[in-house]
Structure 1
């Protein structure tokens, strides 16, 4: 009985430890689900960053094409300006020839210099405005490109960090899978082993209960036999007491000298007479 009780207690302790192992496996599964959800969120962020990267690349290409277009437009403006200056010079040359014939007293050099100064000032203002506009556009474009480059580098660094995180999570997930498989195998083996042991313990308990039932029946039978013996003893003691009482009562009724009584009656041939002769 003590051995069976200790065995059952040990099995209870082992089953408790297996229960804790099962809880740990459930916690690991919950952690796996959380990490899987986190991984999906990270993958969604990576896809969003990739789309953003593609958009920034397209924006950069568009800005570069706009810069090239502005450079070509500035070059075209310079060429047009030179052509207009040359055409104006040729027109002014013909006009000067006509005016020299018509009015020789006019200072043509002064007029020409004034016109040239005005036109050069106008051209200089236009050129300065165009250069300022181009410089402003170029500066804004460079700022956008720099911001896009910084954002691109930040996105690339974040993508690399997310990839390392995903790789680490995949390794940890694989380890959790291996641990889960190992725990499941251990649990299956433990369940099979303890099922056999529980069956043996159940058989032992059944045998012990059967033995206890037999012992209880034997005790009840012996108790009944003991009660019968006690009753027999009581009856025998009662009968003995009865016989003793009867004998004592009979002895009290008998005379103290039976031989004298017999002689007085003249029964010399009686047993008392012979007894008396023998006593004499």
Structure 2
């Protein structure tokens, strides 16, 4: 893998989008800040910048180099940085091809060799390099044998896993078909009308019709009750008026009672006076009669005596006249007294009779009103009883209807739960099926990766053997500058473009001082993810030399596989999710990431 070696005063910011990094590769050591986020990113605090973009925030005293694929966005990034105070901001108008011309950075490949963009350096001992190559060849041979064993084991495991996966997939497909058949049957069962549904629909219609009839009867009863209530209110008003009249009559009676009592007392007194007068009159009559009899006796006696003596005058007529006069006077007085008493008694009787008649009429009206109220109350009680019976019948009908609806709803909910559980089972099986497909895909990708690794190992060992044969024929007297001039600087066979100091997916040989070979994607100033064998001068600019490193460590190459999962949810919608899995494979020091 190549790493970017920058000075402390230089920061490289890659303004490309993340998807471009995934497609074309990134620049190791650079900070990826998309152009749309650059203005806000340079205004963050250092901690926020480091947390968001994974690198140290550049200061205004540092040289900030902006790069992109072609150079247009890097220029805009430089202008944005300059407007924010970064006076040392630079960009490469031609993209990665202008890196070497600026002489700002170095690149290093941690593979089999290194290329340093320096102006001079010591030569390379060919014997020592040959010994190291032999040691490396033996190491690679043992590693290859181990890889063969591991590949055999992996192939056996993959075959078993593939057979198990196929078997499981077939069983899942069968279960899926069974579930689909069951779901279709349930849909046909509960979506299409059945005899039971028609039966309870007819019953529901009949119950609704009865409920409507009961509702109409209830409305009529309520209307009748309201009418009776109105009549009752009217009767209550009349009753209240009668009570008021009765109270007024009682008050009048109470007011006239003293007069009646006084008249009664006067009548009683007059009756007593009349009795006394009658007694006195009778007494006077008896006295008068006795006096008259006594006088008559005296007169008769005197007449008899006078007759004897002389003849006296006859007084009987005079006495009779006097008696008649007294009788007339007494009769006249008695008649006047009787007429006066009768007049007074008639007046009192007429007055009391008027009040009695009025009280009697009021009492009769009260009795009539009470009878009407009792009749209305009896009618109201009968209507209440009828209304209660109708309401009870309506409640019974509603309760019966509600129970039937609850039973039907419970059955529907049970069927819905059963359908939901079937959907969940189906979704679970689909999820397991998708997981198995993802595992199968991952295994196929891993098999492809192993195949590429094995092919890469074969090509690399072949190239090493060819390099060793070439080195044995080379002359040691050739100078480093001649080898550098004979080398290929920036030669590549991908789109005819070369990068200074390395090869981009190309293959070149330098004869007479050094051989440089690269397979993979090259970046600015170096060879990325490829195999570089630089011997006696290497590949670089004029006069550049290549130091052959003794590091032959076996690196770990991380493979990332994106698993796409599609799951059918309860709402019959498809949800997709992605998951990245990493696979570490040993013995892939030269494989590009």
Cα offset, 1:188, TM superposition: 0.6
The residue number in structure 2 matching 1:243 is 451
The residue number in structure 2 matching 1:164 is 372
Match of 2:292 among 69, 72, 92: 92
Following the alignment from structure 1 to structure 2, what is the Cα–Cα distance between the partners of residues 227 and 113?
162
Name whichever structure is richer in strand by fraction.
Answer: 2
The residue number in structure 2 matching 1:203 is 411
Do structure 1's residue 181 and structure 2's residue 389 form an aligned pair? yes
Following the alignment from structure 2 to structure 1, what is the Cα–Cα distance between the partners of residues 326 and 397?
104
Cα offset, 1:250, TM superposition: 1.8
Match of 1:229 among 437, 460, 463: 437
Cα offset, 1:108, TM superposition: 11
Listed as ranges, the matches of 1:1-280 within 5 Å are 81=281, 84-85=284-285, 88-89=288-289, 91-92=291-292, 94-95=294-295, 98=298, 128-129=336-337, 131-254=339-462
The residue number in structure 2 matching 1:270 is none
Higher-RCO chain (CA-CA 8 Å, sequence separation at least 6): 1
Cα offset, 1:168, TM superposition: 2.3
Following the alignment from structure 1 to structure 2, what is the Cα–Cα distance between the partners of residues 165 and 252?
122
Q: Aligned pair count?
A: 204
The residue number in structure 2 matching 1:278 is none
Following the alignment from structure 2 to structure 1, what is the Cα–Cα distance between the partners of residues 281 and 460?
179
Cα offset, 1:121, TM superposition: 6.1
Following the alignment from structure 1 to structure 2, what is the Cα–Cα distance between the partners of residues 75 and 188?
84
Question: TM-score of the superposition, structure 1-length normalised?
Answer: 0.51
Cα RMSD between the aligned structures? 5.4
Alignment gaps of 5+ in structure 2: 1-190, 192-207, 209-213, 247-266, 304-311, 470-593
Question: TM-score of the superposition, structure 2-length normalised?
Answer: 0.27
Cα offset, 1:237, TM superposition: 0.9
- For residues 25-73 of structure 1, give each alpha carbon's deviation from its aligned partner in whole angstroms, at most 9, with x where no partner exists: 9xx8xx99xx9xx99xx9xx9xxx9xxxxxxxxxxxxxxxxx9xx99x9
Following the alignment from structure 1 to structure 2, what is the Cα–Cα distance between the partners of residues 79 and 207?
117
Name whichever structure is richer in helix by fraction.
Answer: 1
Cα offset, 1:219, TM superposition: 1.3
Cα offset, 1:187, TM superposition: 1.2
The residue number in structure 2 matching 1:267 is none
Alignment gaps of 5+ in structure 1: 4-13, 50-66, 262-280
Following the alignment from structure 1 to structure 2, what is the Cα–Cα distance between the partners of residues 214 and 126?
127
Following the alignment from structure 1 to structure 2, what is the Cα–Cα distance between the partners of residues 122 and 78?
11
